[in-house]
Structure 1
Amino acid sequence: MDAQHLPPAGEASVSRFAEQVFAHLPRIDQRRWAHAYLRGLLAAPGRKSLSNMATSLTTSRTAALSLQQFINGSPWDWRPARRTLARLTATGPRPVRAWTATLAVIPKRGDQAVGVHRRFVPEFGRTIKCQAAAGMFIATDRHAVPVDWSLLLDADWTEDRDRRVRARIPDSVTPRPADRTVLDMVDRLAAHLPVAPLVADLTVVDDLPPLMSALARRGVPYLLEARPHQAVRPVLQATTGRFGRIQQDAVPVESLLPRQRPRTPGTPQPTLRCVPVLTPGVQGAPVHRLWVQDARGGRDRRYWLTNLSEDAPAVLALLGTVATTRDAVDRLGADFGLLDFSGRSYLGWHHHMTMISAAYALGHDRPDLTGTPTREVFRTSA
């Protein structure tokens, strides 16, 4: 494969963007290889292996080794680059609609890549060997851009000293439940950006109330997907017309608003319905809204808990960011290298995820910058 060349304007765009995002790197050679890695992710058609990226950049036989050293060996801090990506996205031409969190599942064959474990993935319908990562995105009305990642690690990786050393997992990294992982990413964003509603489809969170309480303490509004068995207490409407505290016993959300057959054949069901609830375990016990979302004629149903008072159209707009985020995860896997990192270290994984996030931020709506035909892949979000 010959080196891939962009038009001069495209090359200039990549150079300017790389200079902004990786300005914190202390050495000239690091900044040069950050630009090269970014360019390789955009230019290399097909799989984003080090060899493919190197070939798309140059005929030099040592380029792949240099890219490998930059991504797996060089000890650069990825956090400033992610902060810059978040700032550039949040201050872009389209207003921020939400922060979105989702889970990306990255299938793996071997056992050596950091974080590999066996997990049942509903969308695959089976248990697979994979890495799993929580991703934080900034979503507008059109796009969702990844700005932070956390690799989910279990005790098999953190308590085995030899395994931990081989994967170069820092001593400060410990297993964290998904809700705590999301809060960490929220805190990092809120430290330097205006707060936006958090929309999260992380049904891997076992217990929503602690997450809801923590977000409320931080002043972060939220719309969180709940599992069907999540317990809530319906709040009846008082005679004043306001939602009072006339409560029933706790019931699973799936028991509320049962599916109804349309009275007239061919009449669609409402796609979004609401009931006020209390959520046991949430500090202060505020009244929440449970939104029940039906799709495919009511055969697919999802449940969302929120402390927002928005009406159905506004909630539908927020739920639109869920689909936008899942589409972004799919494109990251198909076109930007999410599935292609072959390194084994924690450091290298975070470097690569930062680079693919930068490539996506720049190139997701710029076909003039990419040399990649879209690949057919499994959906990588769950």
Structure 2
Amino acid sequence: MTAGPEARDLLLAELGGSLFASLPRSDQRRRGEAYLRGLLAARGRKSIRNIAALSGGPAAEQSLHHFVSSSTWDWEPVRRALAAYTARIAPPQAWVVRPMVIPKAGDNSVGVERRFCPVRGQVINAQQAVGVWAASDDFAVPVNWRLFLSESWLEDPLRRRQASIPDSVRAETLGECTVEAYVGMMRDWGLPVRPVVMDAREADALSALHRLRAAGVPVLARVGGSLRLAPAEPTLPGRGGEALPAHQIMGAARDLRRPVLWRDHDGRRSVHTSLTAAVRVGLPGRRPAPGEPVRRRDMLLLGLGDAAGRWPAELWLTDLLNVPPAALVRLSRLMGRVRRDFDEVADEVGIRDFAGRSFGGWHRHTTLASAAHAVRVLTRPGAAGADEEAECLGQAS
């Protein structure tokens, strides 16, 4: 993987051949390639009009609009090809599951409604989706998306018909949407099993964690301090089985804090020392679903902070019981890698720019924008392997 226009053209040609192999007609494949190149080259908002201006004007605009908004090609095989390509070229250290909020001015786009946005700290008019990212120290590429749809959309026949929402789409909680975004792609895509890193503070964390554990998925989840857990360490309060807030458990483990080294992923590669403490806990019990295996393994509650700040600054829950704290810290920092690549690349290639109202159109545009994101990050200057950093962190652990 090298930088520059020539490298980008080579990657486009190679990736395009894989992405569009499932499209049955040659004209569809040509339009897919034109749309992908437009996402990379068009200035400003990545509207269909701006993309079409690079490849033929009004006639191209009409054909590209049909190709994305109302064509019949299936986006799932394209995403599967993108995920397989990314896993081969830039093997992920983890799959990071991250929400995406898409502000909207009107109320016609599929899934749009008034919702609270934690980043802005206010209620806005927006769509909400969940993305799964193949993440490593140097790269983060979105490979799957799931659009969150509330009952107000799915139980309204007129809205469903106008947005062409398939009959198979059913209402789910945000936690269920988060889990299915990952589990759905891992069922038959043939992707490597890696830990799932996610922020479970906003979703229904317990339900999501129970479902992931039932599926045998290794998980590292950031959790809120109020999440109640059952301490399994004999030296901690609540050992008798009483569930306590996570921040209280970690506060009692203050004397277990140890320094750990980790590196930034922002190009400066500066090394930091943080304090960590880890204690074994159990999730509050629930009745397993019929046929679901009973899993009673403990989990690890990991606290992160520094000597000068409050303790703990972050709380993470994981079933990776035998992984050194330094490696867990490194995995948790992949959330930052995804956030930076989203801000610097995904938005630049128009991941949130689809202005149509249809369910299929949203998914097709987001799929192609994900491919454009992959091209951009895999050919940007300064992208290097992580062997040196892995060695450093391995020594620190």
Structure 1 residues 333 and 15, CA, compared in 2 at 3 Å: closer, same or farther? closer
Letter in 2 for 1:236: E
For 1:258, what is the secondary structure of its paired residue?
helix
In 1, Cα distance between the equivalents of 2:334 and 2:203?
19
| Structure 1 residue 117, shift from structure 2 partner | 1.2
**DSSP 3-state at the match of 1:173:** coil
The 3 A distance-change label for structure 1 pair 332 and 129 is farther
Distance in 2, matches of 1:7 and 1:333, equals: 19
Match of 2:310 in 1: 298
Task: Indicate the residue corresponding to 1:274 in structure 2.
Answer: 278
Aligned to 1:325: 338
Give the AA of the match of 2:97: A
Alignment partner for residue 220 of structure 1, among 217, 221, 224? 217
Write out per-residue CA displacement over residues 351-374 of structure 1, whole angstroms, 9 at most, x where no aligned residue. 011001111111224259xxxxxx
Cα-to-partner distance string for 1:113-137 (whole Å, 9 max, x where unaligned):
0000111112101111111001111
Per the alignment, in what secondary structure is the counterpart of residue 281 of structure 2? strand
Q: Give the match for residue 286 of structure 1.
A: 297
User: 1:269, 1:297 within 8 Å by CA — same for their partners in 2?
Assistant: no
In 2, distance between residues paired with 1:86 and 1:301? Answer: 33
Deviations 1:283-325 (A, max 9, x none): 5332211112337823883321111121210101111211111
CA distance in 2, matches of 1:299, 1:339: 36
In 2, distance between residues paired with 1:118 and 1:298? 34
> What is the CA-CA distance between 1:61 and the residue it aligns to?
2.9
Q: Secondary structure at the match of 2:74?
A: coil
SS of corresponding position for 1:181: helix
Q: What is the alpha-carbon distance in structure 1 between the residues aligned to residue 194 and residue 329 of structure 2?
A: 16
TM-score using structure 1 length:
0.84
Q: 1:333 to 1:194 in 2, by over 3 A?
A: closer
Q: 1:14 maps to which residue?
A: 12
Distance 1:269 1:16 in 2: 42
What is aligned with 2:64? 67
Post-superposition Cα deviations, 1:249-304, rounded to whole Å, max 9, x if no partner, equal 211112233398xxxxxxx9944322221211265332211112337823883321
Relative to structure 2, which stretch is displaced further, 145-154 or 292-301? Answer: 292-301
Report the CA distance between 1:168 and its aligned residue: 0.5
The residue that corresponds to 2:290 in the other structure is none
CA distance in structure 2 between the aligned counterparts of 1:281 and 1:61, rounded to whole angstroms: 59
Letter aligned with residue 250 of structure 1: A
For 2:169 and 2:108, the matched residues in 1 are separated by: 18
* Pair 155,201 (structure 1): closer, same or farther in 2 beyond 3 Å: same
Letter in 1 for 2:371: A
Question: Which of residues 159, 166, 169 in structure 2 aligns to 1:163?
Answer: 159
**What is residue 364 of structure 2 aligned with on the other side?**
351
5+ long unaligned stretches in structure 1 = 1-5, 261-267, 369-382
* Residues in 2 aligned to 1:235 and 1:284: alpha-carbon distance in whole angstroms: 15
Q: Which residue of 1 aligns with 2:229?
A: 232
Structure 1 letter corresponding to 2:48: L
5+ residue gaps, structure 2: 255-271, 287-293, 382-397
Number of the residue aligned with 1:360: 373
Q: Would you say 1:77 and 2:74 are equivalent positions? A: yes
* Structure 2 residue aligned with 1:342: 355
**1:280 aligned partner, one-letter code:** P
Q: Distance in 2 between matches of 1:186 and 1:286?
A: 22
Matches for 1:110-121 after TM superposition, within 5 Å: 110-121=106-117
For residue 313 of structure 1, the aligned residue among 315, 322, 326 is 326
- Decide whether the 8 Å contact of 1:101 with 1:199 is kept in 2: yes
Counterpart of 2:116 in 1: which secondary structure?
Answer: strand
1:204-215 correspondence runs (5 A): 204-208=202-206, 210-215=207-212
Aligned partner letter, 1:115? G
What's the secondary structure of 1:236's corresponding residue?
coil
Give CA-to-partner distance per residue, 1:143-183, whole Å, 9 cap, x none: 11111000000011111101110011011101112332233
The answer (yes or no) to whether the contact 1:118–1:130 under 8 Å persists in 2 is: yes
- What whole-Å deviation, never above 9, does each CA across 1:45-92 have from its counterpart, x for those lacking one? 22111121122x235331211211111011110000111111111112
1:205 CA drift (Å):
1.8
- Is residue 176 of structure 1 aligned with residue 172 of structure 2? yes
Do residues 252 (structure 1) and 245 (structure 2) align?
Answer: yes
Tell me the residue number matched to 2:191: 193
Q: Contact 1:101–1:202 (CA<8 Å) still a contact in 2?
A: no
Over aligned residue pairs, what C-alpha RMSD do you find? 2.6
TM-score (norm 2): 0.81
Describe the superposition over 1:221-276 as per-residue Cα deviations: whole angstroms up to 9, x where unpaired. 111122222111122247xxxx9x9435211112233398xxxxxxx994432222
1:377 is aligned to none
What secondary structure sits across from 2:233 in the alignment? strand
> One-letter code of the match for 1:231?
R
